[in-house]
Amino acid sequence: MALKANITIDQGTTYSTNIDVADDNGDPVDLTGFSGAAQLRKHYTSTNAHAFAVSIANATGVVTLSMTANVTANIAAGRYVYDCELTDPQGTVSRLIEGIVTVTPQVTR
């Protein structure tokens, strides 16, 4: 079952967040060979998506979601949904995290 976390992104700024992936004992999961994908969309059924860059720190169990300032500047202020999925070396896909994204409007341009 995916973690639930709501996030806020300030339009026109660089965004980055780390997600710690731990086992039942609280130890970091070795993510060697894993890949990730994450997107935000206005609605679950929207065809238009904005992708997060997903980086994985292999043995430390840390997944980083990020967007550049240029990417966030092109997202209209408002409420969105997002998730991040990980694919293990055998091709099994699992959802790591999901939630609501609030993009706050930019004043300075």
Instruction: Show the tokens assigned to 69.
Output: 């300032």
Band the pLDDT of 79: cuts 50, 70, 90.
very high
CATH assignment of 3-99? 2.60.40.10
Higher per-residue pLDDT: 13 or 58: 13
Q: Which of 53, 24, 23 is nearest to 38 (CA)?
A: 53
pTM for this one? 0.92
Find the helix or strand (DSSP H, E) in which 70 lies.
helix 69-73
pLDDT above 90: residue 23: no
Q: Are 15 and 9 in contact (CB under 8 A)?
A: yes
Model pLDDT, residue 58 = 74
Model pLDDT, residue 17 = 96
- To the nearest whole percent, how much of the chain has pLDDT over 90? 87
